[in-house]
Chains A and B, each alone.
Chain A
Amino acid sequence: MLEMINIAIKTIFIENMVFAFFLGMCSYLAISKNFNAAFGLGLAVIVVELVTIPLNWFLKTYFLEPGALAWLHPSFSAVDLSFLTFLVFIATIASSVQLVEMVVERFFPALYTALGIFLPLITVNCAILGGSLFMDERDYSFGESVFFALGAGIGWFLAIVLFAAVRQKVRYSNVVKPLRGLGLAFIITALLGIAFMGFAGIKL
């Protein structure tokens, strides 16, 4: 149990999806102008990570891995479907994002409008696919992958919320003209990354 919590903490702070791997940058940069939208998108990413990573774990363990189909019939134990990994993972992600989108549209219409195109675009958020692929690459068990998903989602949420608050503050700054907007956003991300480097190297 302690190990699993460690995995979650590690993924939030030490190997943060945004600051350590620079994954999911597109929506991170685009949605962070408004704090409430960033908050909502962060929550949506947590939900999607929590749904897709365990789901993909099932698919990986029982369908895709070499010999994973042995539970159907012993003669299938030589089948290796791992070349389908990307396709299947993306399909899982796309369908779960569709579900999340329907829920958000039904229950949080304001958030739905604020997020606009970026809600369906969570499908192609690298942090989501990255999460599933890390789960695959690091051979997590089911429990580990759940906690990893939680950590990855919270880490991304924390990153975008921090960033949105900073951008809100910077709105009052007299920023150099050519850098207004995205240019400054990249620089702020770098500063946040430096701040998070303090955790790099902690062994849990």
Chain B
Amino acid sequence: MMKKLTDSLWNFLQTKVKPHFTKGGKFENLFYLYEAIETFLFLPPEVTHDKPGTHVRDGMNLKRLMIHVVFALIPAMLFGIWNIGHQHYIALGEYVGLSEGLMDKFLVGLKVFLPILIVVMAVGGTIEVLFSVIRKHPVTEGFLVTGPLIALIVPPTIPLWMVAVATAFAVTFGKEIFGGTGMNIVNTALLARAFLFFAYPAHMSGDQVWIYLGEAADRVVDGFSGATPLAVAAEGGYQALKTFSYQSYGFWDMFFGWIPGSIGETSTLAILLGAALLLHTGVADWRIMAGMLLGGIFTAFLFNMFPANEYMALPWYYHLVMGGFAFGLVFMATDPVTSASTFTGKWIYGFIIGVVALIIRVLNPAYPEGVMLAILLGNVTAPLIDHLVIKSYISRRERQVSAIVPSPKTQEPVKESSHA
């Protein structure tokens, strides 16, 4: 049944639709729009043949790689939707228990999250298609990943027009002018968030933005505060988290994620599920994750050793479940385009991000969270790291070769032709 359906769809596309879009057809300028749909629905018809030589025979093209990330985002997304509703009802003092009002919470969450997602996808998708039609390059599913990512890293109360402006800015200046997917130097989703953060700080930080209240803003229970764990910890460290008046911010609360925060970044558990998929399919590199984890733990541990204030004394493992650390670690830092591409480079790149994230988070009073900016910094350092790693690799090989083949002219670089 399914096979018949897909076959007839394929035939329909090939015979009835495609001719209009190929050369000489009515919509020949829009070919890449058609091609985007075809390759989204079907694997490419061309396969590498069994000729001598090594070929990768695998259906994993760019689109399928991207769709893996979208699947990996689903746990965080579902949890985020529920959590919007959960925080909403906690603020009103209703359905305080975790299992109460599941459907109501989901509905509130959907009401908030869907418009954001739709706006992001519509704005970003339009720009992407415009660019690819005018510049005649294929539409890739890059935005299918970037879109949900943007929607997941904004606070639930963000005005939709801001999301639209930020998306337009990030897609245009962060990606499309460089030539589209695979050619950008900074993570597009993070650029959108950085744009929002610096252009409209009042809507991106503080105690008011993390909980969607809607029309119920006047029914908030007394003594409720929407401060995120990061803000609370910055005030008074471990003790403040323990004794935070209304909700408790314990380690496990933050691990499971029923805390205020950006939509998709609160639940470390949901993110770990996504991470498992990404690691299993090899889409994300474990070296980057390990490097960033090590960098974060190392820095937090140093702060623990020499605490100058309450925040620095916060146990190191708390930092891993607070704020955007886990989300950035799994979905942002591992972006294969903007991260370092050598193996050694990936360790260094991840480590730098971890260190800088913690430094900004703890030492910079201007920003409560540093993961976003740390990854952006990592993105722009990645080319340098790669360059240096490759250079050191080349010189090491040169030394090896010249040790085996004693060259009379030691000053000249040894040619590759030797057997080493």
Residues of A at the B interface (CB closer than 8 Å) are: 35, 161-162, 165-166, 168-170, 172-176, 179, 184, 187-188, 191-192, 194-203
Of B176, B194, B360, B379, which contacts A202 at CB under 8 A? B360
Give the distance in Å from the alpha carbon of A194 to the alpha carbon of B166 in the complex: 14
- Tally of chain B residues near chain A (CB < 8 A): 36
Nearest opposing residue in chain A for B376, CB measure = A195
Question: Of B21-29, B157-165, B362-370, which binds chain A?
Answer: B362-370
Q: Is the CB of A173 within 8 A of B366?
A: no
Nearest opposing residue in chain A for B374, CB measure = A198
Residue from B191, B374, B376, B380 with most neighbouring chain A CB atoms (10 Å): B380
Question: Of B68-76, B114-122, B381-389, which binds chain A?
Answer: B381-389
Q: Is the CB of B198 within 8 A of A197?
A: yes
Q: Is the CB of A170 within 8 A of B185?
A: yes
Q: Is the CB of B384 within 8 A of A161?
A: yes
Q: Is the CB of B374 within 8 A of A176?
A: no
Which B residues are CB-close (under 8 A) to A194?
A: 186, 191, 194, 198, 376
Residue from A173, A192, A198 with most neighbouring chain B CB atoms (10 Å): A198
Answer yes or no: B224 CB below 8 A from chain A CBs. Answer: no
Q: A165-B384, A174-B137, A202-B360 are in contact. Are A195 and B186 (CB under 8 A)?
A: yes
Answer yes or no: B276 CB below 8 A from chain A CBs. Answer: no
Q: A35-B387, A176-B177 are in contact. Are A166 and B363 (CB under 8 A)?
A: no
Chain B 148-184, CB within 8 Å of chain A: the 1/0 string? 0000000000000000000000000110111110011
Q: Is the CB of A166 within 8 A of B364?
A: no
Q: Nearest-CB distance from B191 to chain A (Å)?
A: 7
Q: Is the CB of A201 within 8 A of B365?
A: yes
Q: Is the CB of A196 within 8 A of B377?
A: yes
Which B residues are CB-close (under 8 A) to A35?
A: 387
Answer yes or no: B135 CB below 8 A from chain A CBs. Answer: yes
Residues of B at the A interface (CB closer than 8 Å) are: 135, 137, 173-174, 176-180, 183-186, 191, 194, 198, 356, 359-360, 363-367, 370, 373-374, 376-377, 379-381, 383-384, 386-387
Nearest opposing residue in chain B for A180, CB measure = B177
Question: What are 29 residue pairs bridging A and B, where the CB atoms are less than 8 Å apart in the complex?
Answer: A35-B387, A161-B384, A162-B384, A165-B384, A166-B380, A169-B383, A169-B386, A170-B178, A170-B183, A172-B183, A174-B179, A175-B177, A175-B179, A179-B177, A187-B173, A195-B186, A195-B373, A195-B376, A196-B377, A197-B194, A198-B364, A198-B373, A198-B374, A198-B377, A199-B364, A201-B364, A201-B367, A202-B366, A203-B365
Of B366, B380, B386, which contacts A195 at CB under 8 A? B380
Q: Is the CB of A188 within 8 A of B384?
A: no
Q: Nearest-CB distance from B166 to chain A (Å)?
A: 13
Residue from B185, B363, B370 with most neighbouring chain A CB atoms (10 Å): B185
Which B residues are CB-close (under 8 A) to A199?
A: 360, 364
Q: Nearest-CB distance from B333 to chain A (Å)?
A: 13
Which B residues are CB-close (under 8 A) to A179?
A: 177
Q: Is the CB of B380 within 8 A of A192?
A: yes
Q: Report, nearest first, the 7 A-B pairs whose CB atoms are least far apart.
A: A201-B366, A198-B373, A174-B179, A173-B183, A165-B383, A165-B384, A195-B376
Other A-B pairs, 18, CB within 8 Å; known A174-B137, A198-B370: A165-B386, A165-B387, A166-B384, A169-B386, A173-B178, A173-B179, A176-B176, A176-B177, A184-B178, A188-B185, A191-B185, A194-B194, A194-B376, A195-B379, A195-B380, A196-B377, A198-B364, A202-B363
Give the distance in Å from the alpha carbon of A170 to the alpha carbon of B185 in the complex: 8
